[in-house]
Amino acid sequence: MSRVFENVKVLGGGASFAFDGETVATETAGAETIDGKGLTLAPGIVDLGVFAVDRAACRAGGITRVGLMPDQSPILDDPGIIRRAALMGKPDLWVHPLAAATRGLQGADLAEMAINASAGARAVATGRRWIADAGVMRKVLAYARDCGLAVIAHAEDGGLAGDAVATEGLTATLLGLAAAPAIAEALAIARDTMLAEDTGARIHFRQVTTAAGLDLVRQAKRRGVKVTCGVTPAHWLLSDIDVSDYRTYARLSPPLRGDGDRQAVRAALADGTIDVIASGHDPRGPEGKRLPFADAEEGMSGAETLLALSLGLVRDEVLTLERLFELLAANPARILGLDVGTLDAGKPADFILFDPEAPWAIDATQMKARAGNTPFDGLPVQGKVRRVFKGGREIE
């Protein structure tokens, strides 16, 4: 259980800390006392599935660890590359590489999972792509199982998705956009959950965004399949209507869905089907976004808005604050095999102090990320990170 504390004093010394009213670690002599009145203390966020290491954005968003997707340059399919990736954010931000499941993310030959795991990979991932060959995917799952790693999968049947840039529906038709049916997600989930069930492997779908896909995850969980899934704020706050003016900042992968699917995501957050909330942080500059919709790059900058947007679920009584931090910290940590994500005794002192009521407006021009490509530009939100601690040391 991920715990949070309100109106607390934090007593920090080295890598140990304590909370006023509940001692979690022994207070050391000369420790600094931080008055947290009016603030909420919570575990540092573990952001599973970012596409860029962006320390400033993560600090602003209360993120202390990230699971880095293999879609890098060069691709994370070699132990030397993975080892360098694991060191690039320290000490302020710990990066946990997700190794490519196949060489070059081409979906053909398996990468050296065991060697990559020994180099620091915490899971294997298919990247932005779906592995079309079921035989290859079965081998990926079986090999990952033997290595004790989860497989982070992209849930979108490539044969149906093709070169589509939107979800089939009225909006895509009116705009004349190449579109794919939402069932492309469910088809991928159906196949991969069956393969995970057959092999006994752990599989995590990085984003599940449709009612049909979420129903398949529910069914698989009931059968005992080792399956988890995640989502980003865009897919419970936005729908395909939000691309009506060809807003390229709302061109995402997977694409925005119809309003029925958006509501299904909110219901799945409430009933526990969804295990992880992540930012999908993917900063893209104007050269990649200020293009015709079909030519624009996919992705959004999400690290520094993740907490504020997610706190809306608490205000709407979809989640409790404790449950929210299970999805933001404890669950992603568990999937990556990390003993972090809670405020329990003996755990690494990764924690944040935030003001859940602080009002502010998202401003793409003022974001600390390397690019402010957000579909939420101008949106008023509440919740601001005030202080971030990594291993008991404050991150400025």
Q: Give the per-residue pLDDT at 137.
A: 98
Q: Give the per-residue pLDDT at 35.
A: 74
Q: Which residue has the tokens 């205000």?
A: 315
pLDDT along the chain (396 residues), means of 10: 55 45 50 78 96 96 98 97 93 96 97 97 96 98 98 97 95 97 98 98 98 98 98 98 95 97 98 98 93 95 98 97 97 97 88 95 94 95 96 89
User: Helix, strand, or coil here: 49?
Assistant: strand
Q: Give the per-residue pLDDT at 345.
A: 81
Going from N- to C-terminal start, the domains of the chain cover 44-342+362-380
* pLDDT 10s digits, 335-367: 999 999 998 888 888 999 999 999 999 999 999
* Sign for the pseudo-dihedral over CA of 89, 385, 41, 150: negative
How many Å apart are CA 97 and CA 67, to the nearest integer?
6
pTM: 0.93
Taking the CB of residue 308, how many other CB atoms lie within 10 A of it?
25
Query: What is the architecture, at CATH level 2, of domain 44-342+362-380?
Result: Alpha-Beta Barrel (3.20)
Taking the CB of residue 195, how many other CB atoms lie within 10 A of it?
23
Q: Which residue has the tokens 């021009």?
A: 365
Amino acid at 245: D
